Amino acid sequence: MTEQKKKLEKLSGVKGMNDVLPQDAQLWEFFESTVKSMLRSYGYQNIRTPIVEHTQLFTRGIGEVTDIVEKEMYSFTDALNGENLTLRPENTAAVVRSAIEHNLLYDGPKRLWYVGPMFRHERPQRGRYRQFHQVGVEAIGFAGPDADAEIILMCQRLWDDLGLAGIKLEINSLGLAHERAAHRVELIAYLEQHQDALDEDAKRRLYTNPLRVLDTKNPALQDIARNAPKLIDFLGAESLAHFEGLQRILKANNIPFTINPRLVRGLDYYNLTVFEWITDKLGAQGTVAAGGRYDPLIEQLGGKPTAACGWAMGVERILELLKEEQLVPEEEGCDVYVVHQGDAARDQAFIIAERLRDTGLDVILHCSADGAMASFKSQMKRADASGAAYAVILGDDEIANGTVGVKPLRDVGAAGAKSEQQTVAAEDLTEFLINAMVASSDDETD
């Protein structure tokens, strides 16, 4: 008996993987609808790929010597068939895989976008989670700096649409493979001179991926990184022309930027343009979006050589920023809460609620919490708490008279006073509510 009474232990979610609770849903929906309308305005098409991919896609696509592949991937063996699988840590490789697999590029370039959860085994902290969300775009089949400029302009438009000011753009060029190779020789020689001062990560990368030493987050290495040979000094005419082409379009569109010679990005597949959008309002996790050109990737994943560029933005970081800047949209309740008492009233309440929904109104129908009929008073409390604009009230009297009670629940009119309950003929209810709502929204805009 005592065993049965013992309360079961509460379960909690996985560390670094967060629930989005209803109180934040408004903010997520505001962000998602703003971003979708921005993407539509540039002619982007949505693509949805699975959350799980073959591990090989990421080791080949992202590069073996990167934070992600070295230590951040959630990889596992499928117990049923032994396949090596990974929860996607990013989505560019998967979008490219899909585009190649389904021959999406056969009739020319494609502008694609995605949104969804990504998974990286990092130390959870503000703005850094193990499951987080990215919105991203991939412009596949475009070689010129005009495509780079367009995807950057898209970010600026999104910041404007969201009301976010002060997100700064940094750009750089990683040049072409042979230019990076020439730079690499000098960079290694330089880093060898400072070998004793290098940290574990930098020592390990010295010969495998020395460029990555430049974007170290270790404060002790900042001076060494700052004074290292700059890749930009190794760029040839073609790379410089591309970089200048981008800058020309950005300037013509009044997009301020700074050139950051140490901006190299974490992933191996980038070439030519790279960029980040950075805020100083989120502490260390200040990069809200990052991207660039990844011309070598499509061939690397088995497709025909195809130029491409894209970006990914961290949704949680942008939402944090919206909260920080107090740009959270106001919570909106639904239009109507239907209160009813008695069997006949309940049957009629269902019919009325469906009829109101037919006209486009959002309606909550009172349902009992414990199976018993609640008093009008307690139902009205729920109606008030729901944030609905109106309560529609049905009892025995209303059923007998063919009427309904209508009570405004929010402050109505300039005086801010709630007006009283009115009796309305049941067949006039829809018209009455719609007129009342139009009148009160006119009031608000006055």
Give the residues lining the site for ligand ATP (CB under 6 A): 90, 120, 122, 127-129, 132, 134, 266, 285, 287-290, 312-314, 316-317
The stretches of 131-221 forming alpha helices (DSSP H) are 145-162, 177-193, 200-205
Strand partners, 408: 390
For the beta sheet containing 363-365, the strands, ordered from the edge strand earlier in sequence to the opposite edge, are 363-365, 336-340, 390-394, 403-408, 422-425
User: Whole-number minimum distance, CB 313 to ligand ATP, in Å?
Assistant: 6
**In this structure, are residues 130 and 14 in contact, taking their beta carbons and an 8 Å threshold?**
yes
Distance in angstroms (rounded) separating the CA atoms of residues 150 and 2: 67
DSSP 97: H
User: Whole-number minimum distance, CB 167 to ligand ATP, in Å?
Assistant: 11
User: Whole-number minimum distance, CB 394 to ligand ATP, in Å?
Assistant: 49
By Cβ distance, which residue is nearest to ligand ATP?
314
Which of 61, 82, 85 lies closest to 73 in space, CA to CA? 85
User: Whole-number minimum distance, CB 154 to ligand ATP, in Å?
Assistant: 15
Q: Which is nearer to ligand ATP, 296 or 408 (CB)?
A: 296
User: Whole-number minimum distance, CB 186 to ligand ATP, in Å?
Assistant: 25
Q: Which is nearer to ligand ATP, 314 or 408 (CB)?
A: 314
User: Whole-number minimum distance, CB 211 to ligand ATP, in Å?
Assistant: 13
**In this structure, are residues 259 and 235 in contact, taking their beta carbons and an 8 Å threshold?**
no
Q: Which is nearer to ligand ATP, 122 or 384 (CB)?
A: 122
User: Whole-number minimum distance, CB 270 to ligand ATP, in Å?
Assistant: 10
Type of residue found at 74: Y
Q: Residues in the chain, how many? A: 446
Q: Which is nearer to ligand ATP, 134 or 271 (CB)?
A: 134
User: Whole-number minimum distance, CB 122 to ligand ATP, in Å?
Assistant: 5
**In this structure, are residues 15 and 48 in contact, taking their beta carbons and an 8 Å threshold?**
no
- The token pair that represents 187 in the structure block: 């960079």
Q: Which is nearer to ligand ATP, 110 or 120 (CB)?
A: 120
Q: Note every long-range contact of 183-192, with CB atoms under 8 Å and residues 24 or more positions apart, other chains counting.
A: 183/211, 183/229, 183/231, 183/233, 183/234, 184/210, 184/211, 186/229, 187/211, 187/213, 187/214, 187/228, 187/229, 190/228, 190/229, 191/224, 191/228
